[in-house]
């Protein structure tokens, strides 16, 4: 029996027998069959078990075990293998008994008659036969007794044979003590006679047969050896030949008729032959059967290796059905499982899900096999192939279920990979493939959803929605831009878009009567200065749009000639046309009308209400006016009459302005998104709809006609624009895109085209020059050069091209450029600083440009000689009035108006008489403002009647004016003021950031110690308001909610002393309302408090429904608070009792309320003027000014005036009287 011989270093020996049923575990833990207690021995080091063929040893650790001096993890054991574990040497012993073929067969002389050979039963019937037999026997004995046969046993050569003993052909001598029987000669059998002849042969010596026999044990007992030796040395008495023959023959002698059938030699011969034949047949059957099984197995393997897995599966199943006991059965089962997997995952169309299921069945079927670990590489291969293949197929077929298959296959790959070498590279490929497949599947899903939505939109005839959905899809996946299905959908959209165009030939007549003027008397502040006074007007005007009004300006002198309110935010600048007389096209945003007025006086020619706002300037051609509207209407108007002759209604809004197509018989106009329409002028109908693909709101300028080409500018990016060059060759124009050019910067202004030179203005302040050609086979736009200003601003750019490559640009100033072979050069000289506000006008060699300063909303209209780059006059239009202050009394009563440009105007009552010009173009005082001023001016009314005007960086300055608006003092400040200054003591208190200083005339700012807020106050805290309470005291309110009472003291030194300080804990965003004895403050939480003016102590408080949204106004005893477009009136004498509230929907107060004869006059930002009963809050009268108000209603010698955004002061008292307000 196999066993283990264990030897320890301590000298201890142990033998452990092995069993095929029970494995043997070896380790340091006490639970093992063999415990080896050593440091480098694991709890379980290895295991020895029977694997159905041999004993094998399997290491339980990653280091393996030492077998015959070599480290191994798994090995089959052979006899003599030495295993070394710790301090123990383990020898594997497997004893196998070998057959000694040299030993003679055992003695058969004692065997009973029934066991005798059938040859002893044969008789010699005749004497001749007996003689012949004896002769043959003697010959055989002689041959057997040859010298080779008589050699000693150890001298003969040995051959190994099977372990079954064979009977010897030589009979053994009969013992001497047997009873001798004398038999007849006839009864002598052949075998006995042959034996006797051999034994009687001279020279032969009796031999004693060896008694060794086969045994599985290598030990022989001593008693057996001694008995054998004694038997060999036992003396025997020789007998005569006669006696021996008689003795032999007497045993087999039978009487006739008594012979047994079963002992018949013939029968026995037949039986022996049959058995022999059966053995031979069985041998051949086994050989043939083994060869047949091998052929079937090889055939199945051959089919499997050829990739014919279906045939291989059938052959393996047939093999296992008929040869399941074959040596190849186990291998066939494994290869059958492999074929089942390969059948699914191999080939041109693998079924990865079925392959994964087959792999799981493979694992389930073979995981209990002893050699299952040998199949790990196969499972790793399957897992990797399925995981990678599934994601690759999913990427092509867009099936999401394959991603789950890949994830499960990845688990198989990870589980059966060697821990010491994980499949990092394969997992990375799987992850990348998974992400790619998931993206592809998501793309397909998004595509299907988008197509479904587009089709639904088309069914509902919503082409704009369909285009939007298509755009979203292409933005996310540009892959589908050239997709065949998307091309079909686009064709369907365009066809539906064209079919949805509605044409109307119904004429709509224009109106020739102007609106009545509600306020006939008005004065417009429009400062005009010029360097030459001898110039004479030629009656030709230029035009400017400024803050809601259009102005006619004399082109020679620069004097304002006429003004016409048109409303704010007009879609295009005044457009000159040649009608029955020189005229202008304007758009009135107040009434949504297109106006045609004369250039000479601005009087109305006709007005035509439009269905929606124009998207750009109208296209005027041959007595037709083509207007595109953002409601999707394209209108065709008669220039002379203003009638709408025909119109088209598109399915989506229009953008930009129409462009005239080559041949002048049609126009092209862009839709809000993606499409461009081609429209014929006669008849007025849509000819074609084509796709450009632009995004909503990206086209801001008109379509530009360049010979047979059309140019569309799309601002598709924040830092660049895309120029689309389209085919625009007459009415047969395809509008197909011929070329795309990417230009740096966005295009917000119309380019200048002169000849073949095209100048493109882009922000910030950049010019790019191109050469244009419409010849076939040539590039349509070729860039020549580009130029950009240093420190450019993002502003509107207006160009005017001249001869010789000259170009003038009005942006942050007027500059001159020249296009040369080396590039674009800039003239060093510049004039008219300020941001351009409208396109330049050219008369002769003079340019007329409109601009705004950063510190003002007024428009400065200037003439410029473009060659000399000089200006001779300027007019300030749309004057931005920042404050109006009444002054004087009686005959000296007047009104001081301060503008954001630093101009001080004085108005008297007679300025509003009909005999006076409607323009006030001369100022009484002009403040010298710092250069590069970027913030507006501020002003306040001091307690002594004087006016304080101040500005911020870059050079903070304070100007002190008297009550008539005359400049008395200019004070340069060290830093900007947070709030208006106030008089305090013998100086002026100036609230700088976190400190308050006092300026004393003649002593500067250093003669009084400042009041400074503590260092722990946040730097963002500013002074919100200074309120004088007495000659030497004031309240200082911070934006953080602190109210500090300060006193100006002269001893021991001049300083500001703190009398009291209160922290409201809430920010204060707006100015407090100041009365005679009280001050009202509202914080950001909506808490309204009434404080004592002298001490700052609270008198009453009220929680508002919403925080205040503007300054508070206090007119004893009424307090007015505006919050959420609601004006509330509170009575301070009744503890902030609410008197009334008035809704102000969509607007707010433009300035403080004015009280006159128990009436409250409210000036609103939308231009309305309300007369409200002070006690009840009921509106008694309502007027609408031509333009939004910019300040409160002011009283000038009983004339009620309302300032508006265009710098005009409208007299409203007459209109109020007509409304029944006779008491005013």
Whether 254 has a pLDDT exceeding 60, the answer reads no
Question: Is residue 1128 a contact partner of residue 1153, using CB atoms and an 8 Å limit?
Answer: no
Quick one: CA torsion of 387, 390, 395, 400, rounded to 10 degrees?
-100
Query: For position 1222, what pLDDT does the model report?
Result: 42
Q: Closest Cα to residue 836, out of 817, 862, 816, 818?
A: 862
Confidence of residue 152 (pLDDT cuts 50, 70, 90): very low
Q: Whole-angstrom Cα distance, residue 653 to residue 69? A: 91
Cα–Cα distances (Å) from 90 to 59, 81, 1016, in that order, read 15, 8, 86
Q: Whole-angstrom Cα distance, residue 1127 to residue 1174? A: 12
Query: For position 257, what pLDDT does the model report?
Result: 59
Confidence of residue 648 (pLDDT cuts 50, 70, 90): very high
Q: pLDDT > 70: what percent of the chain?
A: 85
Q: Whole-angstrom Cα distance, residue 1208 to residue 522? A: 6
Q: Whole-angstrom Cα distance, residue 741 to residue 721? A: 8
Question: Is residue 571 a contact partner of residue 551, using CB atoms and an 8 Å limit?
Answer: no
Q: Closest Cα to residue 537, out of 512, 516, 558, 510?
A: 558
Q: Whole-angstrom Cα distance, residue 1052 to residue 1045? A: 20
Q: How large is the average pLDDT for residues 80-105? A: 71
Whether 655 has a pLDDT exceeding 80, the answer reads yes
Tokens at 308, concatenated: 């014919």
Length, in residues, of the chain: 1224
Q: Whole-angstrom Cα distance, residue 360 to residue 382? A: 10
Q: Whole-angstrom Cα distance, residue 836 to residue 112? A: 143
Q: pLDDT > 90: what percent of the chain?
A: 59
Quick one: CA torsion of 1086, 1091, 1097, 1102, rounded to 10 degrees?
-40
3-state secondary structure of 247: helix
Instruction: Decide which of 344 and 241 is more confident.
Output: 344
Q: How large is the average pLDDT for residues 816-825? A: 91
Range 360-365 contact pairs with CB under 8 angstroms and sequence separation of 24 or more: 360/412, 361/337, 362/337, 362/338, 363/412, 365/333, 365/337
Q: How far apart are the first and last CA of the chain?
A: 136
Beta partners for residue 1142, in sequence order: 1127
3-state secondary structure of 218: coil
Q: Whole-angstrom Cα distance, residue 1025 to residue 981? A: 9
Tokens at 1041, concatenated: 């909610």
Confidence of residue 533 (pLDDT cuts 50, 70, 90): confident
pLDDT in tens, 1008-1040: 999 999 988 898 999 999 999 999 999 999 999
Contacts of 574 (CB under 8 A, 6+ apart): 543, 544, 545, 550, 584, 585, 586
Q: How large is the average pLDDT for residues 72-83? A: 89
pLDDT in tens, 713-750: 999 999 999 999 999 887 778 889 999 999 999 999 99
Confidence of residue 109 (pLDDT cuts 50, 70, 90): very low
Whether 158 has a pLDDT exceeding 80, the answer reads no
Instruction: Decide which of 490 and 697 is more confident.
Output: 490
Q: Closest Cα to residue 1194, out of 1159, 1158, 1157, 1151?
A: 1151
Confidence of residue 645 (pLDDT cuts 50, 70, 90): very high
DSSP sequence for 767-824: EEEEEE---TTS-SEEEEEEEE-SS------EEEE-GGGEEEEESSSEEEEEEETTEE
DSSP β-ladder status, 522-525 and 919-920:
parallel
Quick one: CA torsion of 601, 607, 611, 612, rounded to 10 degrees?
0
Identify the H or E element spanning 1217: helix 1213-1218
Confidence of residue 1128 (pLDDT cuts 50, 70, 90): very high
Query: For position 911, what pLDDT does the model report?
Result: 86
DSSP sequence for 83-107: EEETTEEEEEE---PPP-TTSPPPP
Q: Whole-angstrom Cα distance, residue 398 to residue 390? A: 11
Confidence of residue 272 (pLDDT cuts 50, 70, 90): confident
Q: Pick the range with the lowest mean pLDDT from 177-191, 269-283, 473-487.
A: 177-191
Query: For position 98, what pLDDT does the model report?
Result: 41
Identify the H or E element spanning 585: strand 582-588
Q: Whole-angstrom Cα distance, residue 1095 to residue 1085? A: 23
Query: For position 800, what pLDDT does the model report?
Result: 95
Q: How large is the average pLDDT for residues 1148-1175? A: 90
Phi-psi category of 710—alpha, beta or left, where left has phi over 0 and alpha has psi -120 to 50? Answer: beta
pLDDT in tens, 895-953: 999 999 999 999 988 888 875 788 998 999 999 999 889 899 999 999 999 999 999 98
Question: Is residue 427 a contact partner of residue 410, using CB atoms and an 8 Å limit?
Answer: yes
Question: Is residue 50 a contact partner of residue 68, using CB atoms and an 8 Å limit?
Answer: no
Q: Closest Cα to residue 510, out of 642, 419, 381?
A: 642
Question: Is residue 89 a contact partner of residue 67, using CB atoms and an 8 Å limit?
Answer: no
Q: Whole-angstrom Cα distance, residue 817 to residue 323? A: 100
Q: How large is the average pLDDT for residues 448-462? A: 94
Q: How large is the average pLDDT for residues 1158-1171? A: 91
Q: How large is the average pLDDT for residues 508-528? A: 91
Quick one: CA torsion of 418, 422, 428, 433, rounded to 10 degrees?
10
Instruction: Give the mean pLDDT of the chain.
Output: 84
Whether 262 has a pLDDT exceeding 70, the answer reads no
Q: b vs e for 327-346, b when ≥16 Cβ sit within 10 Å of the residue's Cβ?
A: ebeeebbbbbbbbbbbbbbe
Quick one: CA torsion of 1091, 1095, 1096, 1099, rounded to 10 degrees?
-30
Query: For position 115, what pLDDT does the model report?
Result: 39
Catalogue the E-assigned strands of 980-1095: 982-984, 987-992, 995-999, 1011-1012, 1023-1028, 1033-1038, 1042-1049, 1055-1063, 1073-1074, 1078-1082, 1087-1092
Q: Whole-angstrom Cα distance, residue 768 to residue 781? A: 11
Question: Is residue 93 a contact partner of residue 107, using CB atoms and an 8 Å limit?
Answer: no
Contacts of 1200 (CB under 8 A, 6+ apart): 1156, 1161, 1193, 1194, 1211, 1212, 1213, 1216, 1224
Q: How large is the average pLDDT for residues 195-221? A: 42
Instruction: Decide which of 206 and 1171 is more confident.
Output: 1171
Phi-psi category of 1185—alpha, beta or left, where left has phi over 0 and alpha has psi -120 to 50? Answer: beta
Q: Whole-angstrom Cα distance, residue 1150 to residue 1216? A: 19
Whether 127 has a pLDDT exceeding 80, the answer reads no
DSSP sequence for 301-370: HHHHHTT-HHHHHHHHHHHHHH-TTSTTHHHHHHHHHHHHHHHHHSSSS--HHHHHHHHHHHHHHHTTST
Contacts of 238 (CB under 8 A, 6+ apart): none
Contacts of 699 (CB under 8 A, 6+ apart): 655, 656, 670, 712, 713, 714, 715
Most trustworthy range by pLDDT among 148-162, 174-188, 296-310, 949-963 = 949-963
User: What pTM value is reported for the model?
Assistant: 0.70
Query: For position 1026, what pLDDT does the model report?
Result: 95
C-alpha gyration radius of the chain:
61
Whether 1152 has a pLDDT exceeding 70, the answer reads yes
Whether 418 has a pLDDT exceeding 70, the answer reads yes
Confidence of residue 259 (pLDDT cuts 50, 70, 90): low
Question: Is residue 839 a contact partner of residue 824, using CB atoms and an 8 Å limit?
Answer: no
Contacts of 129 (CB under 8 A, 6+ apart): none
Question: Is residue 751 a contact partner of residue 809, using CB atoms and an 8 Å limit?
Answer: no
Whether 97 has a pLDDT exceeding 80, the answer reads no
pLDDT in tens, 1070-1121: 999 999 999 999 999 999 999 988 888 889 999 999 999 999 999 989 999 9
Q: Whole-angstrom Cα distance, residue 880 to residue 525? A: 9
Identify the H or E element spanning 738: strand 737-744
Query: For position 893, what pLDDT does the model report?
Result: 86
Tokens at 145, concatenated: 């007794």
The angle, 0 to 180 degrees and rounded to 10, between the axes of the packed helices 352-366 and 401-415 is: 30
Q: Which domains does the chain have, with CATH numbers?
A: 3-93 (2.60.200.20), 349-500 (no CATH), 522-877 (2.130.10.10), 1144-1224 (2.40.10.480)
Q: Whole-angstrom Cα distance, residue 180 to residue 94? A: 51
């Amino acid at each position: 029996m196999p066993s283990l011989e264990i030897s320890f270093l301590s000298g201890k020996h142990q033998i452990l027998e092995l069993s095929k049923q029970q494995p043997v575990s070896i380790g340091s833990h006490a639970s093992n069959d063999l415990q080896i207690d050593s440091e480098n021995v694991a709890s379980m080091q290895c295991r020895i078990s029977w694997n159905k063929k041999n004993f094998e040893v399997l290491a339980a650790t990653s280091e393996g075990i030492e077998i015959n001096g070599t480290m191994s993890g798994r090995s089959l054991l052979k006899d003599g293998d030495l295993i070394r574990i710790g301090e123990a040497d383990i020898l594997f012993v497997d004893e196998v008994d070998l057959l000694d073929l040299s030993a003679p067969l055992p003695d058969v002389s004692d065997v009973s008659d029934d066991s005798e050979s059938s040859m002893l039963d044969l008789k010699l019937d005749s004497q001749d036969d007996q003689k012949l037999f004896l002769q043959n026997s003697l010959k055989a004995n002689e041959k057997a007794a040859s010298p080779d046969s008589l050699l000693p046993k150890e001298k003969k050569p040995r051959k190994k044979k099977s372990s079954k003993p064979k009977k010897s052909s030589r009979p053994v001598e009969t013992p001497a003590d047997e009873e001798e029987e004398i038999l007849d000669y006839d009864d002598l059998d052949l075998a006995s006679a042959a034996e006797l002849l051999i034994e009687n042969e001279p020279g032969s010596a009796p031999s004693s047969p060896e008694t060794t026999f086969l045994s599985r044990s290598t030990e022989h007992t001593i008693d057996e050896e001694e008995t054998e030796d004694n038997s060999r040395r036992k003396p025997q008495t020789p007998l005569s030949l006669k006696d021996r023959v008689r003795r032999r023959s007497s045993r087999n002698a039978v009487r006739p008729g008594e012979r047994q059938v079963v002992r018949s030699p013939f029968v026995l011969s037949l039986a022996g032959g049959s058995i022999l034949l059966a053995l031979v047949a069985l041998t051949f059957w086994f050989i043939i059967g083994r060869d047949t099984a091998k052929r079937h197995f090889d055939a199945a393997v051959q089919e499997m290796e050829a990739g014919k897995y279906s045939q291989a599966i059938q052959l393996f199943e047939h093999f296992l059905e008929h040869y399941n006991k074959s040596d190849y059965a186990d291998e066939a089962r494994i290869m059958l499982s492999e074929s089942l997997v390969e059948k699914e995952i191999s080939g041109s169309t693998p079924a990865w899900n079925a392959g994964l299921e087959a792999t799981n069945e493979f694992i389930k079927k073979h995981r209990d096999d002893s050699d299952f670990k040998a199949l790990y590489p196969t499972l790793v291969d399957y897992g990797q192939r399925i995981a990678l293949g599934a994601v690759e197929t999913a990427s092509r077929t867009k099936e999401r279920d394959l991603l789950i298959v890949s994830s499960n296959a990845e688990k198989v790959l990870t589980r059966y990979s060697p821990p010491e070498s994980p499949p990092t590279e394969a997992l990375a490929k799987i992850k990348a493939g998974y992400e790619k497949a998931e993206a592809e599947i998501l793309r397909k899903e998004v595509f299907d959803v988008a197509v479904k939505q587009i089709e639904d939109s088309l069914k509902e005839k919503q082409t704009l929605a369909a285009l939007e959905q298509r755009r979203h899809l292409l933005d996310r996946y540009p892959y589908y831009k050239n997709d065949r299905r998307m091309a079909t959908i686009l064709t369907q959209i365009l066809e539906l878009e064209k079919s949805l165009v509605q044409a109307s030939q119904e004429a709509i007549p224009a109106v020739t009567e102007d609106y009545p003027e509600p306020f006939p008397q008005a004065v417009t502040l429009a400062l005009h200065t010029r360097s030459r006074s001898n110039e004479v007007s030629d009656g030709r005007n230029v035009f400017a749009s400024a803050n809601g009004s259009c102005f006619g300006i004399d082109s020679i002198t620069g004097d304002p000639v006429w003004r016409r309110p048109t409303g704010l935010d007009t879609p295009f600048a005044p457009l000159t046309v040649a009608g029955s007389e020189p005229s202008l096209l304007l758009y009135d945003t107040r009434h949504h009308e297109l106006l045609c007025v004369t250039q000479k006086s601005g009087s109305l020619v006709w007005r035509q209400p439009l269905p929606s706002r124009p998207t750009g300037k109208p296209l005027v051609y041959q007595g037709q006016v083509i207007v595109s509207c953002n409601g999707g209407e394209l209108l065709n108007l008669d220039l002379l009459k203003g009638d709408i002759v025909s119109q088209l209604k598109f399915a989506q809004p229009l953008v930009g302005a129409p462009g005239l197509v080559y041949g002048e018989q049609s126009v092209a106009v862009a839709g809000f998104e993606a499409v461009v329409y081609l429209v014929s002028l006669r008849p007025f109908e849509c000819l074609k709809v084509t796709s450009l693909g632009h995004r909503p709101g990206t086209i801001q300028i008109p379509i530009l006609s360049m010979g047979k080409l059309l140019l569309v500018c799309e601002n598709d990016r924040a830092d660049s624009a895309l120029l689309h060059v389209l085919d625009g060759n007459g009415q047969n124009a395809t509008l197909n895109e011929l070329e795309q050019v990417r230009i740096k910067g966005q295009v917000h202004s119309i380019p200048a085209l002169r000849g073949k030179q095209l100048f493109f203005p882009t922000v910030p302040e950049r010019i790019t020059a191109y050469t244009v050609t419409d010849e076939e086979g040539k590039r349509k736009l070729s860039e020549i050069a580009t130029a950009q200003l240093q420190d450019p601003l993002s502003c509107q750019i207006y160009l005017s091209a001249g001869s010789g490559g000259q170009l003038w640009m009005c942006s942050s100033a007027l500059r001159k450029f020249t296009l040369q072979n080396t590039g674009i050069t800039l003239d060093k000289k510049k004039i008219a600083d300020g941001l351009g506000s409208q396109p330049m006008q050219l008369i002769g060699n003079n340019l007329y440009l409109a601009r705004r300063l950063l510190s003002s909303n007024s428009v400065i209209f200037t003439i410029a000689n473009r060659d000399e780059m000089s200006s001779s006059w300027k007019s300030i239009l749309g004057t931005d009035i920042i404050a109006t202050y009444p002054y004087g009394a009686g005959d000296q009563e007047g009104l001081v108006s301060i503008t954001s440009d630093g101009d001080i105007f004085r108005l008297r009552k007679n300025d509003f008489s009909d005999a006076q010009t409607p323009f006030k173009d001369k100022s009484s005082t002009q403040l010298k403002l710092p250069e590069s001023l970027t913030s507006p001016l501020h002003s306040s009314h001091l307690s002594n009647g004087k006016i304080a005007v101040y500005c911020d960086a870059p050079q903070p300055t304070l100007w002190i004016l008297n009550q008539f608006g005359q400049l008395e003092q200019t004070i340069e400040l060290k830093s900007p003021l947070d709030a208006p200054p106030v008089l305090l003591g013998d100086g002026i208190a100036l609230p700088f950031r976190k400190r308050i200083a006092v300026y004393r005339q003649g002593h500067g700012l250093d003669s009084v110690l400042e009041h400074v807020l503590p260092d722990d106050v946040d730097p963002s805290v500013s002074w919100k308001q200074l309120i004088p309470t007495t000659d030497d005291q004031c309240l200082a309110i911070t934006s953080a909610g602190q109210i500090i009472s300060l006193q100006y003291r002269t001893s021991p030194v001049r300083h500001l002393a703190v009398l009291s300080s209160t922290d409201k804990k809430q920010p204060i965003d707006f100015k407090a309302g100041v009365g005679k004895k009280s001050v009202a403050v509202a914080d950001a939480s909506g808490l309204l408090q009434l404080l004592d003016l002298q001490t700052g102590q609270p008198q009453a408080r009220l929680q508002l429904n919403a925080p205040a949204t503007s300054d508070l106004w206090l007119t004893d005893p009424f307090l007015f608070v505006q919050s959420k477009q609601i004006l509330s009136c509170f009575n301070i004498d009744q503890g902030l009792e609410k008197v009334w509230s008035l809704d102000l929907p969509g607007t707010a107060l433009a300035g403080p309320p004015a009280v006159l004869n128990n009436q409250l006059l409210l000036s609103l930002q939308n231009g309305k003027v309300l007369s409200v009963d002070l006690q009840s809050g009921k509106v008694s009268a309502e007027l609408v000014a031509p333009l939004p108000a910019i300040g409160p209603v002011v009283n000038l010698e009983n004339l009620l005036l309302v300032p508006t955004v265009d710098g005009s002061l409208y007299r409203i008292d007459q209109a109020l009287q007509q409304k029944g307000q006779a008491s005013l």
